[in-house]
Structure 1
Amino acid sequence: MTDPEVLARHLDEVRILDLFAGPGGLDVAAHFLGLKSLGIEWDGNACETRYAAGLPTIHADVRVMREDRFDQIPKSVDILAGGPPCQSFSVAGTGAGRRALETVKRFIHRLVDEDENEAEIDEDLRALDDPRTALVLEPLRWLLKAIDTDDRNPYEVIVLEQVPAVMPLWEVYAQILRGGEGRLGGVKYEAECWQLKTEEYGVPQTRTRAVLIARRPGRGAVEAIPTTHRPFDVHRGKRVVAQTDSLLAETSVLGRKQSWVSMADSLRAASQLSGSCDRVSRFKSQQSSDSESEPQLDFFVVSNYGSGGDPKNRGRRQASEPAFTVTGKVSRNKIYKSESDLAAGRYDRFTIAESGVLQTFPHNFPWSGQDQAQQVGNAVPPRLGMHVLSAAVLGAPPSEEALAAARSWPNVPATTSDELRALGCGDQSQCPAGSHRSIAIRQNPAAP
């Protein structure tokens, strides 16, 4: 860590602890909601992005922080948030987590059982095919640690998100949190979980997330998070007649909501913001120099992934549609301006800044370090995060003013980034082993 004055400046009144913080999707959301957060992140490159963005960070393994450095977490923290790594649960990953769902459910029950030995649980967890699967248990272990620590209070609010495959585990979490039994020592929560579609919250991509919100009694019932936009029909053009009636029945409800946001709309809006850089505004070149109309964004995207189970059948999205799920391989998607370009093999790629905009990061967010495409793809879309955190903590949707402000990121002085780096990495012996070898300090391709 660093000196007391710097600690106080950056960590006083921190309310949110973001486990597995990545480059800052939830922290960006918290910032625009007026909530101060602290992230724990093991990847040094993601930490560099966080430092450049002015986000307080501890560069560490969440397990090490829980076991050996728990006392370094500010006592003002009353909200636990996190999205454990999804690789073993994602359909694009190994599938080890999906195969182990029933085993992980048993581990959840074992962790709250007063008769279980935690050291034995740790030993048994080592038998999992993919060690990352066990990280989905960390939020519960952090809660139990807070309950077991004399000078700490249980978290008032818990917010978790993951890929849809983790939904059965969140359901077990919710059941246990409502019961307050065993090692929870009577600490109970109102808890619910849902699968949320990002495009229904104004994110210009189709992406489904399993979300859990838990609150201590007295803070009001946990209710479903209202959607603001219509869902995108990923099976457009493939509907069967039997679906028609149900689609028509939804029209009266959906008609009152905004349409989903397209790639063209989001990139055009970002390109017109003050200080927009060429990496976002390059599509303006499609506008003739004497035209006063908005730039026309006419392109289509061919996915890096196969569609319908056929790896050779690459899906397509038009500029007038939401993007595919933005993953760490987003830079492999190919952008074509015409069918003739497709035939000739002439294509472009999304820049990091554009990929970030499709994730609803501010257009000028200071992506730094290496593996930036992976950082973008791993992140929680901040706009979705604003809806989830606002519902969980404030009990209301985010204001239109907050959502509008979230399109641009404030300038962060280099001195602030340096202080945050000293806070998070000042004693590199406490950082994950070897994690500073590949970091390119203050790379910032998204800056104007």
Structure 2
Amino acid sequence: MIKKDAACRVEIVDLFGGPGGWDVAAQRLGLAVTGIEHDRAACASRRAAGLDTVEGDVRAYGPGDFPTATDLIGSPPCQPYSIGGKGAGRRALDTVLHFADQLAARRDIRAGLATLDDERTGLVLEPLRWTLQALDGGRPYRTVMLEQVPTVLPVWEAMAQILRAEGYTVVTGRMHAEEYGVPQTRARAVLVARRHGEGEAALPAATHRRYSRTTDQDGGNPDLLPWVSMAQALGWGMTHRPALTVAVGTAAGGPDPSCVGGSGSRATLYGERDAGRWIADTRLVDADELPAYRGGRKDMIRVSVADAAALQTFPSGHPFQGTRTKQYEQIGNAMPPELAEAVIRRAMAAELAARTGTQAA
């Protein structure tokens, strides 16, 4: 059992803590959160940021190790399911759905998961395992919040059916990050579940307009704020659209120094610059902060670690640790804190209202 100081009571367990995207948001809202993370560099980043951290494999733990936890967060590794990855998760989707049904029937699926081509594929089911074990242990989670790439939405929908049968209200959907003030066009599949008697599950309403190539930034719904451009967020870059998704990955799963997902995205950056919809980067940036030039265009658009973190809405100065490659990797894999905060604020409105003495939304 993970021993906790009484003054640092766990309220939320984040199963895949990374550098702290969800956790930064939870702390902003005054909620205690402990993140489980296996990557050493990400754990170092978390500790440097003052985030409560358990370093280890989430599969080695369970609800009994966190007996005071009331809520659950999970952003399993996206690489097997990402369009930019090798596709092991996408190919195994039907198998994963079968294993979800097996979990619902309280069957041990560990041997089956071990046969998958990429062991990370099965991690998408860890939040379901934890939720069901908490139920069976008599300490059900009040709120479950999950996030992944859009191709995982069928898994979330299958889990929603299972959780509804277990006494939860559940909503799933595709959220667009720019609609919540994040300066990038990142789409995520999200699941929110609330235990019956604890309020209805809901996704947050958009606060900003959806980006569209055919609509000006000042166009669209006048009741919503304009989306935030890359140039507004960084002081340089594209002026007529948000940044592209900070994917920081190639088809092989490695870091991409341009911090955009693939050659097509890079072409968009260059196209916007060549069309004049661009503010030049005139800062004096330490060369050690920028990715190394590895061939190709000599005028390569280079996004620093700090820039990538800003596009993901991490607070300025968030202390990412490890090699530069590991820092980019952590940023690209993280849940943007602004998006996470919107999800938590809506999903846990009653709890937040109780803390502040206001009426829940």
Q: Same fold (TM over 0.5)?
A: yes
* Preserved contact between residue 88 and residue 118 of structure 2 (Cα < 8 Å): yes
1:338 to partner: Cα distance: 6.1
Aligned counterpart for 2:233 among listed residues 266, 281, 306 = 266
Distance 1:206 1:124 in 2: 36
Distance 1:344 1:44 in 2: 34
Which residue of structure 1 aligns with residue 289 of structure 2? Answer: none
Higher relative contact order (CA 8 A, sep 6+): 1
Aligned counterpart for 2:144 among listed residues 135, 140, 158 = 158
Aligned in 2, Cα 1:367/1:195: closer, same or farther, shift over 3 Å? Answer: same
Distance 1:56 1:391 in 2: 23
Which residue of structure 2 aligns with residue 207 of structure 1? Answer: 186
Q: Map residues 59-98 of structure 1 onto 2, 5 A cutoff.
A: 59-66=55-62, 71-73=64-66, 75-98=67-90
Distance 2:99 2:173 in 1: 22
Aligned in 2, Cα 1:266/1:253: closer, same or farther, shift over 3 Å? Answer: closer
Which structure 1 residue ranges, 5 or more long, are not aligned? Answer: 181-187, 238-246, 269-296, 300-317, 399-448
* Preserved contact between residue 192 and residue 213 of structure 1 (Cα < 8 Å): yes
1:346 to partner: Cα distance: 2.7
* Preserved contact between residue 193 and residue 212 of structure 1 (Cα < 8 Å): yes
**Is it true that 1:378 corresponds to 2:339 in the alignment?**
no
Aligned in 2, Cα 1:252/1:93: closer, same or farther, shift over 3 Å? Answer: closer
Once the two structures are superposed, what CA deviation does each residue of 1:266-311 show, in whole Å capped at 9, x if it has no partner? 124xxxxxxxxxxxxxxxxxxxxxxxxxxxx3x4xxxxxxxxxxxx
Which residue of structure 1 aligns with residue 168 of structure 2? Answer: 189
Which residue identity lines up with residue 346 of structure 1 in the other structure? D
Q: Map residues 271-420 of structure 1 onto 2, 5 A cutoff.
A: 297=236, 299=237, 318-328=238-248, 329=255, 331-333=257-259, 339=274, 345-370=298-323, 371-395=326-350
1:252 to partner: Cα distance: 9.2
Once the two structures are superposed, what CA deviation does each residue of 1:320-374 show, in whole Å capped at 9, x if it has no partner? 4211100224532577796599x98334411111110100001111111231000
Taking only the aligned residue pairs, the percentage that are identical comes to 44
1:253 to partner: Cα distance: 6.6
Deviates more, 1:129-138 or 1:344-353: 344-353
Q: 2:170 is paired with a residue of what secondary structure?
A: strand
Distance 2:140 2:68 in 1: 11
Which residue of structure 2 aligns with residue 8 of structure 1? Answer: 5
**Is it true that 1:228 corresponds to 2:181 in the alignment?**
no
* Preserved contact between residue 26 and residue 380 of structure 1 (Cα < 8 Å): yes
**Is it true that 1:136 corresponds to 2:124 in the alignment?**
yes
Distance 1:347 1:209 in 2: 28
Distance 2:17 2:174 in 1: 21
* Preserved contact between residue 387 and residue 397 of structure 1 (Cα < 8 Å): no
1:145 to partner: Cα distance: 2.1
* Preserved contact between residue 330 and residue 377 of structure 1 (Cα < 8 Å): no
Which residue identity lines up with residue 345 of structure 2 in the other structure? S
Q: 1:104 is paired with a residue of what secondary structure?
A: helix
Distance 1:64 1:223 in 2: 31
Aligned in 2, Cα 1:255/1:58: closer, same or farther, shift over 3 Å? Answer: same
**TM-score scaled by structure 2?**
0.81
Which residue identity lines up with residue 29 of structure 2 in the other structure? L
Aligned in 2, Cα 1:252/1:71: closer, same or farther, shift over 3 Å? Answer: same
Aligned in 2, Cα 1:101/1:65: closer, same or farther, shift over 3 Å? Answer: same
Which residue of structure 1 aligns with residue 46 of structure 2? Answer: 50
Aligned in 2, Cα 1:338/1:216: closer, same or farther, shift over 3 Å? Answer: closer
Aligned in 2, Cα 1:338/1:95: closer, same or farther, shift over 3 Å? Answer: closer
Distance 1:34 1:344 in 2: 46
1:98 to partner: Cα distance: 1.1
Aligned in 2, Cα 1:51/1:344: closer, same or farther, shift over 3 Å? Answer: closer
Q: 2:192 is paired with a residue of what secondary structure?
A: strand
* Preserved contact between residue 108 and residue 137 of structure 1 (Cα < 8 Å): yes
Give RMSD over aligned pairs. 2.8
Instruction: State the aligned residue count.
Output: 316
Which structure 2 residue ranges, 5 or more long, are not aligned? Answer: 249-254, 260-265, 281-295, 354-361
Aligned in 2, Cα 1:226/1:396: closer, same or farther, shift over 3 Å? Answer: farther
Which residue identity lines up with residue 247 of structure 2 in the other structure? T
1:126 to partner: Cα distance: 1.8
Which residue of structure 1 aligns with residue 101 of structure 2? Answer: 109
Which residue of structure 1 aligns with residue 293 of structure 2? Answer: none
Distance 1:50 1:208 in 2: 25
Which residue of structure 2 aligns with residue 28 of structure 1? Answer: 24
Distance 1:86 1:46 in 2: 16
**Is it true that 1:178 corresponds to 2:178 in the alignment?**
no
Once the two structures are superposed, what CA deviation does each residue of 1:108-150 show, in whole Å capped at 9, x if it has no partner? 1111115x4x1xx21122222221111011001111222333x
**TM-score scaled by structure 1?**
0.65
Q: 2:144 is paired with a residue of what secondary structure?
A: strand
Aligned in 2, Cα 1:127/1:366: closer, same or farther, shift over 3 Å? Answer: same
Which residue of structure 1 aligns with residue 92 of structure 2? Answer: 100
Greater Rg by CA: 1
* Preserved contact between residue 144 and residue 193 of structure 2 (Cα < 8 Å): yes
Distance 2:352 2:129 in 1: 29
